[in-house]
Structure 1
Amino acid sequence: MEKLIDIGKYIEIGINALEENFSGLWGAIDNLISWTVDSINSVFLILPFYVIIALVTIGAYYAKAGKKAFTKEGAGKAAGMTAFVILGLLLVWAMGYWKEAIQTTTLVIVSTVIALILGIPLGIWSARSNMANAIIRPILDLMQTMPAFVYLIPAIFFFSVGNTPGVIATVIFSLPPAVRLTSLGIRNVPSDVIEAGYAFGATEKQILFKIQLPLAKTTILAGINQVILLALSMVVIASMVGAKGLGSIVYQGIQQNNIAKGFEAGLGIVVLAIILDRITQSIAKK
């Protein structure tokens, strides 16, 4: 059947124009992301594995125990999570995938930071402007329903292969929860609290930073948790464009029909996902 509307053609023309006219910008972004990822990997890989396990365990313990960290009640509350962190990370190391786990964690950290830098301001703008919300919402719907593999096409076109296209695709895929939950949290702040702020002479900036954001903090942190998990879920797909880490091992297992390799790397991703999820959830609850 002959196409009546060739949308893909116009998208291709637009992408080609962006690549030709802003090639310097894409090169700069590529260099910055590649340098950031390589630098973080280098720092993490210099440290002995047991030092990183100890640091993550301490962080998880304090996230779970909170102010009761030095009490028997706090120790009992955080015991299960602490044990899982230690055993889970030791399992990843014992399977021989410690370096890949570090690379995956770095990819998630960089992608999450970029997604939050973009997503939280967009969420604030969406919450405080109905017009902005009307524009941003359908774009987020498109981003969430578009198959994740589609994001790899422009990422490869602009940045070739490597960690950068993997980070860019991951950011696009994981960005919507940061915007949506930030906007939701601010919009759910009781109107009478905001009116009281105005009655006491608060400025728009004070209303935002001293009333709306603090009261929306729990919802925003839930959005951060979702961003991290979505970023982690993209590591296998990102490996198809050259991103390093556990995802690349899973991809090798698929290509080689190696069940053992694919399962072990997948188990490592599950361990990282559970650890990051539990830590961020514990922080959000406090």
Structure 2
Amino acid sequence: MGNFPDIRTQIGDYVDQFVSFLDTSLEGFFDFIFFISSRTINGIADFLMWMPWWLFIILIVLMGWYFKSVVSGVLYGLFIFLIGTFGLWEDMMTTISIIITAVIICLIIGIPLGVWMAFSKGFSTVMRPLLDAMQTMPSFVYLIPAIFFFGLGNVSAIFATLIYALPPVIRLTELAIRGVDKEVIESAQSFGSSNWQMLKKVQLPQALPTIMAGVNQTTMMALAMVVIASMVGASGLGEQVLVAINRIDIALGFEAGISIVFLAIIIDRITNGVAGKFQKHGGATE
């Protein structure tokens, strides 16, 4: 290749060997993750499918009304109704179940890591390059270890989504904890609060609006992985987009694509509304 010496590094081979080692050594752990993730996805999807369509739409309208406005609630309900008229109701429920599962796992992992980074400069220094790599690595690369560890299916989609969507909630949690007013912290310390009490009663409540912004970003990034995750066998709206591409089916592609847009609008506005409620609550209690 040009005049560059024909020297091939072995870094990729070492990574391959390391991943194979993890797959062999932690087989039971990955089986446990697969079991929990698949049960969670199926449980949420079954519950959503059990719910009557009109009740689900009413809930969306009420959430939009409470967190945004009456007009927004009615508009979100119309979006959901249109997705149903496209014949994509089951696919939408599967997509929602995948997103909910991925976001829950992201929050369980991300918020504690963000708190740890806020309290430990050394850990933060180690984590930041890893988070940079997770955010800048091409999304398709995540699909390779996902297939290797979990095979094709929704669990692989969650694994790939997790890597892509985890950094925002970690970063914003760290930023939120570090951004708490020092005078408030000093006041809590003067009353003899322990580190745990200060975190629980002072820092987390003060940081909650910013953390909710991280939740919003993580949720939107999880939704952005819907189509890419379909390449590892994930079902839902992303799968319909992939089918439309393979068939060059413009009608199906438009309906599945606009359905994802509708979901993105609803999720973004409602999660922003939740963050706004926390912001107002925090401002009122300060």
Q: Which residue of 2 aligns with 1:14?
A: 18
Is 1:196 aligned with 2:187? yes
After superposition, the C-alpha distances for 1:151-186 in whole angstroms (9 at most, x for unaligned) are 000000010101100011111110000100000011
1:5 partner letter = T
In 2: Cα distance, 1:3 partner to 1:193 partner: 58
How many residue pairs are counted as aligned between the two chains?
Answer: 273
What stretches of structure 1 of length at least 5 have no aligned partner?
A: 65-77
1:44 aligned to 2:48?
yes
* Equivalence for 1:260: 251
Instruction: Name the amino acid aligned to 1:33.
Output: S
- In 1, the alpha carbon distance for the partners of 2:250 and 2:182 equals 55
Supply the AA of the counterpart residue of 2:62.
Answer: I
**2:106–2:166 Cα contact (<8 Å) kept:** yes
Give the TM-score taking structure 2 as reference length: 0.93
Match of 1:62 among 61, 66, 84: 66
The Cα shift of 1:79 comes to 2.0
Amino acid at match of 2:40: T
Distance 2:63 2:177 in 1: 29
Q: Deviation per CA, 1:10-49, whole angstroms, max 9, x where unpaired?
A: 0000001111111122122112211111111111111221
Question: Does 2:222 match 1:231?
Answer: yes
Q: Structure 2 matches for 1:103-118, cutoff 5 A?
A: 103-118=94-109
In structure 2, what is the equivalent of residue 208 of structure 1? 199
Whether the 8 Å contact between 2:115 and 2:174 is mirrored in structure 1 is yes
* 1:216 alignment partner, SS class: helix
Aligned counterpart for 2:170 among listed residues 172, 179, 187? 179
1:131 aligns with 2:122: yes
The question of whether the paired residues in 1 share the 8 Å contact of 2:64 and 2:70 is answered with no
Distance in 1 (alpha carbons) for counterparts of 2:139 and 2:251: 26
**175-184 or 256-265, which moves further after superposition?**
256-265
Counterpart check, 1:151 vs 2:145: no
Answer whether contact 2:64 2:74 (CA < 8 A) is retained. no
Quote how far apart the aligned CAs of 1:4 are.
4.6
- Match of 1:141? 132
Secondary structure, counterpart of 1:96 in structure 2: coil
Q: 1:191 to 1:3 in 2, by over 3 A?
A: farther
Distance 2:7 2:27 in 1: 32
Does the 8 A contact of 2:49 with 2:90 survive in 1? yes
- 1:246 equivalent in structure 2: 237
Identity %: 44
TM-score by length of 1: 0.93
In structure 2, the residue matched to 1:27 is 31
CA RMSD after TM alignment? 1.0
**Structure 2: distance between partners of 1:100 and 1:3:** 48
Q: What is the DSSP-based 3-state SS (H/G/I as helix, E as strand, rest coil) of the residue aligned with 1:5?
A: coil
Give the gaps of 5 or more residues in structure 2: 278-286
Q: Please name the residue that 1:282 is paired with.
A: 273
1:102 aligns with 2:93: yes
Query: 2:106 & 2:137 partners in 1: Cα distance?
Result: 17
Deviation digits for residues 98-139 of structure 1, max 9, x if unmatched? 110100000100000000100000000001110110011111
Deviation at 1:197, TM superposition (A): 1.1
* AA partner of residue 11 (structure 2): I
1 CA distance for matches of 2:198 and 2:35? 39
CA distance in 1, matches of 2:107, 2:66: 23
Mapped partners of 1:212, 1:229: distance in 2: 26
Return the alpha-carbon distance in structure 1 between the equivalents of residues 18 and 156 of structure 2.
Answer: 19
